[in-house]
Amino acid sequence: MSRIGKQPVVIPQGVIITLGKDNSITVKGPKGELKEAIDRDITVEVKDGQVNFIRPTDQIRHRAMHGLYRALVANMVKGVTEGYKKNLELVGVGFKASNQGNLLDLSLGYSHNIVVEIPKELKVTTAQEKGQNPTISLEGIDKQLLGQVAAKLRSLRKPEPYKGKGVKYAGEVLRRKAGKAAGK
């Protein structure tokens, strides 16, 4: 048995889970609503304040999807109750970030500023404290979308291994390399 797949997802107070006819699941909560299509082989049962996932056989494909859909629904339930947040840090001289609504304007050492439109499902804020690196905060209820947008922003200028300059996740530990050894 899949260790993750056989664990039930507990439905907290204020969350409504409905199953659609096209084998989709909708999770409504205080922060919003999320919808996910579930493979037709996986059976979903909602009863006694829990969501259970049942697979038909022990095939590798069914075992993989069993845990996958349980994890996706658990992430949806957490998203509509608590929400998700990711922080990015801009490390480098002259690196700046500012936003107007969901338009993010980044100055990352290139000859031009980069303007990125953040999806309307996410909320973006930027901060520049004196003596600190500029930070970008992304908040939303969809864990998958949040991670994808954060990864896209990081890819605009990945942290380099010598000085650590670039866009990095807050708390990310970078592996640093030694510079050139002095000549003899």
Which 8-state DSSP code applies to residue 143? H
**Tokens encoding 99:** 């936003």
Pick the CATH number of 84-169 from 1.10.540.10, 2.70.70.10, 1.10.760.10, 3.90.930.12: 3.90.930.12
The C-alpha atoms of residue 168 and residue 19 are separated, in whole angstroms, by 39
Q: Do domains 9-81 and 84-169 have the same CATH topology?
A: yes
The C-alpha atoms of residue 32 and residue 16 are separated, in whole angstroms, by 11
The C-alpha atoms of residue 44 and residue 52 are separated, in whole angstroms, by 6
Which 8-state DSSP code applies to residue 160? P
Please state, as a whole number, how many other Cβ atoms lie within 10 Å of the Cβ of residue 159. 20
Kindly give the confidence (pLDDT) of every residue in the chain, 184 residues in length, as a single tens digit, with 9 standing for 90 and above: 458 888 999 999 999 999 988 889 999 999 999 999 999 999 999 989 999 999 999 999 999 999 999 999 999 999 999 999 999 999 999 999 999 999 999 999 999 999 999 999 999 999 999 989 999 999 999 999 999 999 999 999 999 999 989 999 999 898 999 888 876 6
68, 60 Cβ separation under 8 angstroms: no
Q: Helix, strand or coil for residue 24?
A: strand
CATH topology of domain 9-81: Outer Surface Protein A; domain 3 (3.90.930)
The C-alpha atoms of residue 57 and residue 71 are separated, in whole angstroms, by 19
Write down the domain spans for the chain: 9-81, 84-169
53, 70 Cβ separation under 8 angstroms: yes
